[in-house]
């Protein structure tokens, strides 16, 4: 089973809001942080009258996150108040009576959903530590309860149990901070029952497979730090037996048991053991053999499959992400729905946000590169579509920029994919400044086609944006994924440079006004690029980015420690003398003398993934060389900014920084080729 370890470095909206009112208790070195006046001066560098303000792109929608109750009697949603808090409301679909059920207070509600027809669950952490607790509330707002009130413990939701609606299965590192064990939890009382012990810290279980009735049928066990073995139990009275072993470089994991036959041992498995890309196979776990290949794509990893519980777990569709999202309808029922949706919404991207257990009502989410998102209700009995909500009505499609899929060859022959967002209505012959925006990860995540508020904001200010799915990104097969191993600060940065070269060949990019901006691993890539190719970029923005691989490795949370052996093979081995040399070469904080271009650094003070020390090092070192480095730190945030006011302030400051360094002396080109 491939574990995308330290895809942990993707910027997630994971945040905190613990008041810290004494300077000596603040994380990091508060004396380095830029003052409000200094950041305001940076904001003021952006001049001009723009049709859309920064907040038009980054304010939370007034209403969002719509979901049906399983029986369709209610639908829920989040609604923002005047203070930016996003409370959870429930509306009766027959009486249309609406009530606020859950109030968002100091801590952000990270997500919510229906546990059954009468009870909702939601998740919060405290202080940005990512130790998520599971909460629940009745339909009328009563019986609200922290179901997992354990300090220093992180909850992951493993399974909803449709056949046992008062229960669900979660995993927690309750008994050992380094490993997770499965529990059945009563969502009314919080009563727990441990379902299996994960005893071996050196070779822990990394994933559990339960069937629809809540029986543990299989698990994946990490062995020797770099191998994964799948264990399966053919009967309740039998022990778990090893099916096969792979390394972290391969995929073989159960995505669902086959309930369409009486034979209980068939399962749908995601595998790349016989294929470069991830494919779905039907596998006989008792006899340890592949029965058939179900679905694959030669270029892109399969994303998964969807089945209908109402229709006896008939397969409705397969899906994957290529340059855009692709759905392959299978069942006759879904083919009819798919055709209706396509006829209605054309080339828009449509996904099913929620559906009733009876599959008579669907909440559809419709978006595109120019449309932030709209919810529609499709009623199968009435055969009718009804618009529920346009999430960002202030952003008009006709004013938004196109996000164009691109692909090109790297200098060593890899096919690289990405996206180029070009400002709308640019003058022919005008050369544009460019912002290169590497995604987080680095291993596993990737950029996608669709509405991106960042690239749209940049386009509205006259900047083109380049996003490259560099080697190591997910979705492009095993060879491409493994091509990124031990290439942080090296060929991964070459891929960004090759992307810039490709876009420059189009003839409308001003090569003297190129910036790089990224979050998390993208922040490391930003810093690394300013070290490696200081003449290519005019400036950079580092957002919650790693700067020193040595100190970064030392700051791992406990539940990352079992994966160190994989990190040493995939990233670098801090104990190997040769890798140590490379780590020194690719750690920007250790090569700060090579940075000669302006830098803006942004950090969440309570970030448990990238410690504030990573940003403090860069700022202190550059300031020590006489650089003016604006440094924004928010003491109510973690790994990425989630509070609306902070996000807006961040992008206002970023626009001021880019205006200062990218909007002077823009030349005119002699040609404009796309």
SS3 of residue 592 by DSSP: helix
Q: Find the angle CA(167)-CA(8)-CA(517) to the nearest 5 degrees.
A: 135
Any residues with CB less than 8 A from the CB of 116 and at least 6 apart, and which?
70, 165, 166, 187
Taking residues 550-563, what's their average pLDDT? 89
| Domain range list for the chain | 30-56+403-662, 63-146
Helix (H) or strand (E) holding 336: helix 332-345
Q: Is the pLDDT of residue 14 over 60?
A: no
Q: For 287-297, how does the pLDDT look when each residue is reduced to its tens digit (9 = 90+)? A: 999 999 999 99
Q: Is the pLDDT of residue 162 over 80?
A: yes
Distance CA 544, CA 489 (A): 17
Beta-sheet strand order (sheet of 167-172): 155-160, 167-172, 181-186, 192-194
Q: Is the pLDDT of residue 560 over 90?
A: no
Reported as half-sphere exposure (CB side, CA atoms, 13 A), residue 670 has a value of 1
pLDDT number for residue 665: 58
Higher pLDDT, 301 or 562: 301
Taking residues 585-610, what's their average pLDDT? 95
Between the alpha carbon of residue 258 and those of residues 237, 279, 565, 613, the distances in Å are 21, 16, 34, 49
pLDDT number for residue 262: 95
Fold of 30-56+403-662: Rossmann fold (3.40.50)
pLDDT number for residue 2: 47
Distance CA 19, CA 411 (A): 50
pLDDT number for residue 185: 98
SS3 of residue 559 by DSSP: helix
SS3 of residue 146 by DSSP: strand
Any residues with CB less than 8 A from the CB of 448 and at least 6 apart, and which?
321, 325
How many C-beta atoms surround the C-beta of residue 345 within 10 A? 18
Is residue 351 within 8 Å of residue 334, measured between CB atoms? no
Q: For 333-348, how does the pLDDT look when each residue is reduced to its tens digit (9 = 90+)? A: 999 999 999 999 999 9
What one-character DSSP code corresponds to residue 490?
T
Between the alpha carbon of residue 517 and those of residues 49, 542, 651, the distances in Å are 24, 6, 12
Q: Find the angle CA(365)-CA(135)-CA(217) to the nearest 5 degrees.
A: 80
Helix (H) or strand (E) holding 497: helix 491-504
pLDDT number for residue 558: 85
Identify the band that residue 13 occupies on the pLDDT scale cut at 50, 70 and 90.
very low
What one-character DSSP code corresponds to residue 425?
T
Is residue 155 within 8 Å of residue 167, measured between CB atoms? no
Q: Is the pLDDT of residue 355 over 70?
A: yes
Please state, rounded to an integer, the average pLDDT across all residues of the chain.
93
Q: Find the angle CA(92)-CA(185)-CA(136) to the nearest 5 degrees.
A: 35
Identify the band that residue 670 occupies on the pLDDT scale cut at 50, 70 and 90.
very low
Higher pLDDT, 10 or 458: 458
pLDDT number for residue 129: 74
Distance CA 247, CA 279 (A): 17
Q: For 492-549, how does the pLDDT look when each residue is reduced to its tens digit (9 = 90+)? A: 999 999 999 999 999 999 999 999 999 999 999 999 999 999 999 999 999 999 999 9
Q: For 123-152, how does the pLDDT look when each residue is reduced to its tens digit (9 = 90+)? A: 998 866 788 999 999 999 999 999 999 999
What one-character DSSP code corresponds to residue 418?
E
Q: For 407-443, how does the pLDDT look when each residue is reduced to its tens digit (9 = 90+)? A: 999 999 999 999 999 999 887 888 999 999 999 999 9
Q: For 609-623, how does the pLDDT look when each residue is reduced to its tens digit (9 = 90+)? A: 999 999 999 999 999
SS3 of residue 246 by DSSP: strand
Is residue 594 within 8 Å of residue 534, measured between CB atoms? yes
Which runs of E-coded beta strand occur in 250-383?
Answer: 252-257, 266-271, 279-284, 289-295, 302-308, 314-321, 325-329, 349-355, 361-367, 374-379
Q: Is the pLDDT of residue 674 over 70?
A: no
Which runs of E-coded beta strand occur in 10-131?
Answer: 63-68, 74-80, 86-92, 98-102, 111-114, 119-124
Q: Is the pLDDT of residue 53 over 70?
A: yes
Convert 468-484 to b/e letters by CB count within 10 Å (16 or more is b).
bbbbbbbbbbbebbbbb
């Amino acid at each position: 089973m491939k574990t995308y370890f330290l895809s942990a470095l993707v910027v997630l909206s994971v945040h905190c809001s613990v008041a810290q009112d004494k300077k000596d208790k603040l994380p990091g070195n508060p004396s380095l942080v830029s003052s409000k006046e200094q950041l305001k001066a940076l904001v003021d560098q952006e001049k001009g009258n723009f049709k859309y303000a920064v907040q038009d792109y980054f304010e939370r929608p007034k209403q969002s996150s719509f979901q049906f109750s399983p029986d369709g009697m209610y639908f829920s949603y989040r609604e923002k108040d005047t203070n930016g808090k996003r409370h959870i409301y429930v509306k009766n679909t027959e009486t249309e009576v609406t009530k606020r059920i859950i109030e968002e207070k100091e801590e952000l509600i990270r997500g919510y959903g229906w546990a059954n027809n009468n009870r909702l669950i939601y998740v919060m952490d405290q202080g940005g530590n990512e130790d998520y607790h599971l909460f629940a509330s009745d339909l009328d707002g009563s019986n609200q309860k922290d179901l997992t009130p354990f300090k220093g413990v992180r909850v992951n939701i493993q399974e909803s149990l449709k056949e046992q609606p008062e229960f669900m299965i979660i995993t927690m590192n309750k008994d050992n901070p380094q490993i997770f064990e499965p529990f059945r939890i009563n969502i009314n009382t919080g009563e727990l029952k441990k379902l299996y012990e994960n005893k071996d810290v050196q070779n822990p279980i990394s994933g559990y497979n339960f069937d629809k009735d809540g029986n543990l049928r299989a698990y994946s066990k990490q062995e020797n730090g770099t191998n994964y073995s799948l264990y399966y139990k053919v009967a309740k009275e039998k022990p778990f037996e090893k099916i096969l072993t792979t390394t972290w470089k391969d995929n073989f994991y159960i995505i669902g048991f086959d309930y369409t036959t009486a034979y209980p041992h068939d399962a749908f498995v995601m595998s790349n053991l016989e294929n470069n890309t991830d494919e779905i196979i039907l596998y006989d776990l008792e006899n340890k053999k592949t029965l058939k290949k179900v679905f694959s794509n030669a270029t892109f990893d399969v994303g998964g499959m969807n089945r209908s519980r109402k229709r006896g777990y008939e397969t409705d569709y397969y899906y994957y992400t290529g340059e855009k999202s692709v759905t392959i309808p299978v069942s006759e029922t879904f083919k009819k729905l798919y055709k209706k949706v396509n006829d209605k919404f054309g080339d828009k991207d449509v996904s099913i946000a929620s559906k009733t257990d009876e599959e008579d009502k669907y909440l559809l989410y419709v978006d595109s590169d120019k449309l932030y998102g709209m919810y529609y209700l499709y009623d199968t009995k009435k055969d009718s579509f009804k618009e529920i909500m346009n999430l960002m009505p202030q952003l008009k499609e006709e004013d938004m920029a196109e996000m164009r899929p691109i692909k090109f060859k790297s200098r060593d022959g890899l096919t690289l994919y990405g996206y180029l967002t070009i400002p709308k209505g640019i003058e022919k012959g005008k050369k544009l400044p460019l912002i290169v925006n590497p995604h987080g990860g680095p291993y596993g995540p990737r950029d996608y086609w669709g509405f991106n508020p960042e690239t749209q904001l940049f386009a509205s200010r006259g900047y083109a944006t380049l996003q490259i799915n560099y080697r190591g990104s997910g979705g492009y097969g095993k060879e491409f994924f493994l091509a990124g191993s031990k290439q942080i600060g090296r060929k991964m940065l070459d891929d960004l440079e090759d992307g810039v070269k490709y876009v420059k060949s189009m003839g409308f990019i001003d090569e003297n006004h190129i910036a790089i901006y990224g979050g998390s691993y993208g922040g490391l890539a930003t810093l690394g690029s300013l070290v490696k190719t200081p003449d290519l970029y005019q400036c950079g923005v580092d957002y919650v980015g790693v700067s020193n691989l040595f100190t970064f490795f030392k700051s791992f949370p406990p539940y990352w420690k079992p994966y160190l052996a994989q990190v040493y093979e995939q990233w670098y081995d801090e104990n190997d003398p040769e890798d140590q040399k490379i780590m020194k070469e690719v750690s920007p904080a250790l090569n700060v003398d090579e940075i000669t271009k302006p830098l803006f650094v942004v950090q969440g003070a309570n970030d448990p993934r990238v410690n504030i020390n990573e940003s403090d090092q860069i700022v202190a070192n550059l300031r020590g060389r006489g650089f003016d480095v604006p440094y924004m730190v928010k003491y109510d945030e973690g790994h990425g900014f989630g509070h609306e006011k902070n996000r807006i302030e961040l992008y206002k400051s970023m626009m001021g920084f880019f205006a200062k360094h990218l909007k002077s002396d823009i030349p005119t080109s002699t040609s404009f080729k796309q």
